[in-house]
Every structure is written in C-alpha cells, then in structure tokens.
C-alpha cells in the first residue's frame, strides 16, 4: 500500500504527514527553542559584574547587549522573509542555527580574544546582534513549517513551544551560574553552543524527510494512476512547498499589510505585551548586581533566583490561559499589569524601607520571597 493510500481525505491537512515527520518537526522546534533561549538567559547572573570588572558601566551596557538581540530580530525579520521566498526555508535553518552556535562561541571567547575593554564590548554587541539575526532566520523558518504541519492543532503546538521557551529561560541562569563558578566566563557559552549544535541534526533529518516526500510526490505525479496522482497533487497543495517558501500574495506591499492590521485593539494588546515582557528586561539587567553587591547573595544562588522567576512564568502560563478563556482577556490583562506594578513597588521602595528598619537580612528575605 502506498504512502498516500488508506488515509482519510476528510481528516484535514495534518493527516498527509506521517507520525515520524510530525515528530521530527516537533523535535526540531523544541530543541532549537530550548537551546536558543538558554544562550539568551545564561548571562544574566554574571554579565553585569564582568563588565564592571572591565571598568565600564555594567548595568547600562548589559541593557544594550540584551536589547540588541530582539532589535535585530525586529529589524531583520522582513529580510528573512525575503530570503525564505528566494532561497527557501531550509536555507534559513541551515544558516540560522549554525550562525547562532558560532556567535555564542565568539561571545564567550571575547575577553580572551581582545584585551581592550571597549573592544570586548564591541565583540559582545556584534556577536549578540548576529545571534539575533540567526534566531530570526531559524524562528521564521521553524514557525512557518510548524504552521503548515499542524494547521488543525497550531495552538497546542505553539503552547508547547512557549513552555519549552520558559524552561530554556529557567535553565539558562542556573546553568550559567554553575558553569561560571566552576570554569570562568567562557565555559557557559561553550556548553550552550554545544546544546545548539545538538539541535542541528534534527534540521538535517527534516530536510532529508522532506526531500524524500517531494521525490515520492513527483513519482506519483508522473507515473501513478489518476487516483494516486490526485492524492499526490492534493498532498502537494496541502503541504505547500516547505523548501521553496512560496506564499500566495494579495498584491499588497509589506507596509500596506502592516498598516492594515494596526487597529486600536492590536495597538492596545501590543502595549500590554510591551509592558509585560519589558518588566523582565527592566529588572533582569540590574537584579544580579543588586543581589550580589547590595544583598551579598552568592553567584550560584543568583542563578537559582532567576530560575524561580522563569519557573513561575512558565508554570502559571497554562492556568492563566484557561482563566482567560473563562473570564475573558480584559480582566487578565488589567490584573496582570496591576500585579506587575505592585511587585515593582514591593521590590523597590518597600524593600528598601524593610532594610532600613529591620536590617539587611530582613531585606534579603523580603526580596527573595517576592521574587
């Protein structure tokens, strides 16, 4: 029996793919997301003090180093979309994952390669920016492939990916702290680059399976019976051409499409997302220095504190999502913003007052409990 026979034509597009093909796509998505987000977060516990040791402002430069990664994704995503149409999505995978791996190694070896403090910061910024370019290429390709592979269960699959991202962010600071304490600045990045490299075999396996499927479809198209040929052509249309990256165009330019979706609802939602996700950036760039210098927390425990923040984020995600389905999204957004604002007040002015009145140990216990 052929690969296309015995499958229901009414079960949706996902039925056109075998379980193995779906598993490879899931493995590729989760492995790249997990390893990539580890590399993003593992520097949080120790990067500010390393920059301070160079005689430069650690808090300010850490903020720039973190900001350049999403900035490059934002700016270069249209270019990645163009590359996908011209060269195919598999090309983006073959370029994006290795580029991230190499730039993580360069970041970790920057202090050894350059003795000038400003040169080190320059290498940090360039390598982090190129890592963002690699992430933009890999993410665009993977998310497009996932959307076409799981059109009927995309929400569940992307929900799984969000959990994996949270686990990556959770693991990064702990792994970074332990390796930094054990082997210095370079070791965490060398280990993280190894994890990224381990995700690359799934890219190769996906490419091979896809090429095999294309050959099968071509064979049925040329020599199969009319029924087989119809099934093959239907499969080809349903799957779309993953490697070509061709998409249907409605004649609108990129800017026209952007302006077309910028309704007030989208703008409000984007503002809430900016405030919600920005809360992590505002706190995490200064938190490690505050914990180490002001509260005398050891490096290995700083990583654990960062991990707890991300565990809470990932763990409450499904619960909050279910609550939003029940109560609506507006109360959840308002409540989330209010809780975030309250937590900043408790971590800032309130914690300082506790320290002034009850001592450093009480302030440390207060802040760690809140985090």
State the pLDDT at residue 124.
Answer: 96
Contact 185, 46 (CB under 8 A): yes
pTM of the model: 0.70
Q: pLDDT tens digits, residue range 288-308?
A: 777 777 777 776 677 777 777
Model confidence at 218, pLDDT cuts 50, 70, 90, reads low
Residue 13's nearest CA partner among 150, 141, 166 is: 150
Contact 46, 52 (CB under 8 A): no
SS3 3: coil
Contact 107, 128 (CB under 8 A): yes
Which residue intervals of 114-246 are DSSP H helices? 117-149, 154-183, 186-223, 226-239
State the pLDDT at residue 222.
Answer: 55
Model confidence at 255, pLDDT cuts 50, 70, 90, reads low
At 275, list the tokens. Answer: 């405030």
pLDDT for 8 beyond 50:
no
Q: Which residues contact 344 (CB under 8 A, 6 or more apart)?
A: 279, 283
Distance CA 73, CA 256 (A): 21
What's the whole-number mean pLDDT along residues 228-239?
Answer: 40
Distance CA 116, CA 198 (A): 33
Q: What is the DSSP letter of 171?
A: H
- Superfamily holding 1-247: MFS general substrate transporter like domains (1.20.1250.20)
| Domain parsing of the chain, residue ranges | 1-247, 254-296+328-371
Contact 156, 96 (CB under 8 A): no
State the pLDDT at residue 251.
Answer: 54
């Amino acid at each position: 029996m052929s690969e296309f026979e015995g499958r229901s034509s009414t079960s949706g597009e996902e039925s056109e793919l075998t379980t193995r093909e779906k598993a490879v796509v899931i493995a590729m998505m989760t492995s790249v997301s997990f390893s990539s987000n580890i590399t993003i977060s593992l520097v949080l516990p120790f990067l500010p003090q390393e920059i301070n040791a160079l005689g430069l402002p650690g808090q300010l430069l850490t903020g720039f180093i973190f900001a350049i990664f999403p900035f490059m994704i934002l700016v270069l995503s249209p270019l990645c979309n163009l590359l996908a149409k011209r060269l195919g999505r598999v090309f983006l995978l073959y370029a994006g994952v290795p580029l991230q791996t190499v730039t993580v190694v360069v970041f970790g070896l920057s202090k050894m390669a350059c003795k000038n403090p400003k040169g080190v910061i320059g290498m940090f910024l360039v390598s982090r920016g190129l890592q963002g370019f690699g992430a933009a290429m890999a993410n665009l390709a993977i998310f497009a492939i996932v959307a076409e592979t799981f059109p009927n269960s995309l929400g569940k699959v992307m929900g799984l990916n969000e959990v994996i991202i949270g686990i990556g962010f959770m693991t990064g600071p702990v792994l970074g702290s332990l390796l930094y304490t054990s082997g210095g600045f370079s070791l965490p990045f060398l280990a993280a680059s190894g994890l990224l490299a381990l995700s690359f075999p799934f890219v190769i396996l996906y490419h091979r399976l896809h090429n095999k499927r294309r050959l099968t479809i071509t064979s049925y198209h040329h020599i199969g019976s009319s029924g087989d040929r119809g099934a093959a052509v239907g499969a080809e249309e349903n799957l779309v051409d993953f490697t070509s990256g061709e998409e249907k165009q409605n004649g609108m330019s990129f800017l026209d499409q952007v302006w077309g979706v910028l309704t007030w609802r989208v703008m409000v939602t984007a503002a809430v997302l900016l405030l919600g996700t920005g809360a992590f950036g505002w706190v995490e760039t200064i938190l490690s220095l505050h914990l180490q210098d002001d509260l005398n927390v050891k490096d290995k425990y700083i990583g654990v504190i960062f991990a707890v923040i991300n565990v809470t984020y990932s763990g409450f995600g499904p619960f909050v999502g279910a609550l939003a389905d029940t109560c609506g999204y507006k109360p959840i957004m308002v409540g989330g913003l209010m809780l975030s604002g309250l937590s900043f007040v408790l971590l800032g002015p309130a914690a300082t007052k506790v320290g002034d009145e009850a001592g450093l140990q009480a302030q440390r216990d207060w802040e760690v409990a809140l985090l």
